[in-house]
Amino acid sequence: MTFFPRVDSKAFALLAINLTMLAVLAARLDSADLSTWYIVLCAALAVVGVAYSLGSLYLCAYPNLKGGSGSYVYFQAIANRIESTFVDEFTALDEKRWLRDISCQVWRNSEILSIKFAALKHSFIGTLAALVPWTSALFFTGT
């Protein structure tokens, strides 16, 4: 479970970097720059890379949480029960059912974390791909 905050903190840092890149590019471009093809091309490639990165960050922040129906440890399955029913069923669990439920939750958490790591990797790739055209666009707008 300690891996989740690590992924999320990296995702928040990438979000800040991506939004800063977009803000700096938008502040630097003016209408005269939009008539120069190579500035427009660099800016467009940078925006595409950042957009890809932001889309990946969305998947990282909101992975698919389906599953765990009938679970006594999965928060969404618990929330779908009536409190008194959950308490009665939970306290009546035998050790075998409890261990099975925990094992299923560990597996599902691992699956969700894998999705988050993959999305974070794609976000890094998008940000890195945007750096060269972004830097070029900034350089050309300064001339």
User: CA-CA distance, 39 to 71, in Å (whole number)?
Assistant: 55
Supply the pTM of this predicted model.
0.83
When pLDDT is cut at 50, 70 and 90, the band that residue 74 belongs to is confident
**Where on the phi/psi map is residue 94: left (φ > 0), alpha (ψ -120 to 50), or beta?**
beta
What separation, in Å, do the N-terminal and C-terminal C-alpha atoms of the chain show?
A: 50
Cα atoms in the Cβ-side hemisphere of radius 13 Å centred on 53: 28
Residue located via tokens 């590019």: 25
pLDDT at 1: 59
Non-local (6+) Cβ contacts of 112 within 8 A are 63, 64, 65
What is the average pLDDT across 75-83? 88
The amino acid present at 101, given as its one-letter code, is D
Non-local (6+) Cβ contacts of 128 within 8 A are 49
pLDDT in tens, 90-143: 999 999 999 999 998 888 888 888 999 999 999 999 999 999 999 999 999 976
When pLDDT is cut at 50, 70 and 90, the band that residue 2 belongs to is low
> What's the chain's average pLDDT?
91
When pLDDT is cut at 50, 70 and 90, the band that residue 4 belongs to is confident
